[in-house]
Structures are given as C-alpha cells and as structure tokens.
Structure 1
Amino acid sequence: MTGKRMVERNFERGLFASRWLMAPMYLGLVVSLAMLVVVFAREVLYYAPQTFTMSSEDAILAVLTLVDLTLAGNLLLIVLFSGYESFVSKMDIDDGAERPEWMGTVNFSGLKLKLIASIVAISGIHLLKRFMEIGEPGIESAFSEPHLRWLVIIHLTFVVSGVLLAAMDWIAAKSKH
C-alpha cells in the first residue's frame, strides 16, 4: 500500500470515527427526556387534586397539556433512536427485547416526516389550547387577535412544510424507479 493511500485510509477512518462526537448530544436528549418526565409529573400532581372541582374545559386543557408533553417525549425518542442508529451506530439490543417496530427501519427521509408530523401535532394542540382559552377571565389580554392570527399562520406553515417535505420525498422515490 502506498503512503498516499495509507494517509487517505487513515483520514477516512478518522472521519468515520468522528460520528461518535454525536453520542454526547444523544445523551443530552436523554436528559431532556427526563426533564419532560419531571414536568409531566408536576402537571399531573397539579391537576389531579383539582379533578373533582374543575370544569370540563379546564379538564380538556389539562389533558391537552399532558398530551402535548407526551408528543414532545415521543418526538425526542424518535430523534434519539433514529438519529443514533442512522448516524452513529446500530443498537445492539437483544432480539427478545421490546424493540419498537420502526427502530432500524426509519431512514433520514422517514425521520424528517415523523419529525414534522410531531411538530404539526404539537403546534395543533397548542393552537387548540389557545382557542379554548378565549373568553376565560383574565386571558383575553394575553391572546389578542394578532397573536392568534400568528399562531394560525405558524401552524399552517408547519402543515405546508410537512406536505412539501412529503411531496419531495415522494418525487425522489418515484425518480429512483
């Protein structure tokens, strides 16, 4: 093997090994997931004692808050598992382990679509919560018409972005055939 080829090979090995620099970031996402669990538990502990006295609208808002946090947690797991397996290393987990069906099958394109779908769902829940708060005492000043209009525009931007990403992936898949 020539000296030039050996340098190139070692350089490429170094580049390939650099993917492990992402591992601490995935560990940070695990910490973020733990933070979401703490916030979720805090919300449950806040709303649970009020169950017998809260209105149906307040109950729906509480549930939407918990669903919102759960979707954010799901989003973190999708990014954590798919990103790690796509960019760092395959997870060596026992075949008998309860491995999610999508693990190992979600490519970068699928990850993008799952990501944008989760963002659209989270945005939609946030928007629904804001609409449900209209007319509640003390909340009118916080959510003016321009504020709500911007929330709708941002949500629609996420929806259109998702549709365009899906269309681009569909076109790319068709062009491969």
Structure 2
Amino acid sequence: MHSRIETALEKTIFYSRWLLAPFYLALVFGLIALFAKMLKELWALGQTLLTGDGNVIIGILSMVDVTLVANLLLIVMFSGYENFISRMDVAHASEDKPYWMGKVSYADLKLKLIGSIVAISAIDLLKAFVNIDSMDSQKLGWLIAIHVTFVISGVLFAVMDRVAAVGKQPH
C-alpha cells in the first residue's frame, strides 16, 4: 500500500512538469510582441533617417536592445523546455537546429541569462551616455549602479558554478 501511494505521488510530481508548457507557449507570444516592437523601432529609425530629427545611434541601440531581449526569450524557451519538460524532437530539422540546443544545462542557462541581462543593461547605459546632455544625473547613477550589480551578480554566478564544478571532479 505504501509503495503504491509513493509511486502515485512520484508520478503526479513527475508529470506536473507539463504545467510549465503554457508558460513557454506564452513566451512565444512575447516573442511576437518583441517582433512588433522591432518593427516599430525600425519605423522610427527610418523616420529619423528621413527627417534628420533624432539620433540614429539611439535608434540602432534600441533595435539591438530588442534583439537581445528576443534572444534571451528564445534561450529561456528552448533551454527551459528541454531542461524541465521534454526534449524537443526536431530531428527532421537537424540542419536548422541551433548547435547549443539540447546541450545547455541549468547552470549554463543561468550564465546565459545573466550574460544577456548584463548586455541589455549595458545597451541601456550606452543609450544614456549617448544622450548624456539630457540625462538626469540621479537616473544615470541608478543605471550605473544597476549595471554594476548585474555584472557583479554574473561574476558571482560564474564563480559559484566553477567552484561547484571543481567540487564535483574526482580527486
């Protein structure tokens, strides 16, 4: 009796991972929203080029920013699905399959995420520096502090993963 209850509980917990699938599907809609945002940024850049009003560099940095967020979303979708739900059966599209797909561990995912967040933060900081004349010094200070916090967090994540990996190696 105890064994059947334990087996049922373990199966319930194991199959509950599929409750995450709608989360990843929602991220697909987030990717579509980012595509719409990219089209808006591209339109604004075109307007800037035609009228001469505005800063082309800011427009390009905004497009890079949206692209980095989209890349981050894609990494989370692929890696999260494969790490927590199921392997993606894309054998029929193997020539189109990204090289890292199926090889990103949870530790790698954390580092890729923090790396992307640091890059996005750096782009926002660069946009602020390009517009430094119109930037409030307090806001600029906050942007720098947040970026430094992300960088330090990323370094600490990398150090912790390296220490954990060294601890797992046979002596």
Under TM normalisation by the shorter chain, which class is it?
Answer: over 0.9
Instruction: Check conservation: 2:48, 2:56, Cα contact below 8 A.
Output: no
The one-letter code matched in structure 1 to 2:27 is L
Deviations 1:108-167 (A, max 9, x none): 1000000000000000000110111122xxxx3xx3211111110110000000000000
Secondary structure of the structure 2 residue equivalent to 1:51: helix
* Structure 1 segments unaligned to the other structure (5+ residues): none
Compute the displacement of 1:50 (Å): 3.0
Deviation at 1:46, TM superposition (A): 2.1
2:74 is the counterpart of 1:82: no
Structure 2 unaligned blocks of 5 or more: none
TM-score, length-scaled by structure 2 = 0.94
Aligned to 2:56: 59
- What is the aligned partner in structure 1 of residue 104 from structure 2? 106
Contact 2:122 2:147 in 1 (8 A): yes
Partners of 1:70 and 1:150 lie apart in 2 by 24
2:159 is matched with: 167
Match in the other structure for 1:91: 88
Paired position in structure 2 for 1:72? 69
Distance 2:109 2:92 in 1: 23
Match of 2:15 in 1: 17
Q: Distance in 1 between matches of 2:52 and 2:24?
A: 39
Distance (Å, rounded) in 1 between the aligned partners of 2:142 and 2:68: 22
As a proportion of its length, which structure holds more helix?
2
Q: 1:155 & 1:144 partners in 2: Cα distance?
A: 17
Moved more, 39-48 or 29-38: 39-48
CA contact (8 A) 2:79 2:109 kept: yes
Counterpart of 1:171 in structure 2: which amino acid? V
Deviations 1:20-53 (A, max 9, x none): 0000000111110100000101111222133244
Alignment correspondent of 2:116: 118
| Aligned partner of 1:33 among 13, 31, 37 | 31
Q: What is the CA RMSD across the aligned residues, in angstroms?
A: 1.4
Residue 42 of structure 1 is aligned with which of 40, 44, 65?
40
Partner residue in 1 for 2:132: 134
Please say if residues 41 and 63 of structure 2, whose CA atoms lie closer than 8 Å, have aligned partners that are also in contact. Answer: yes
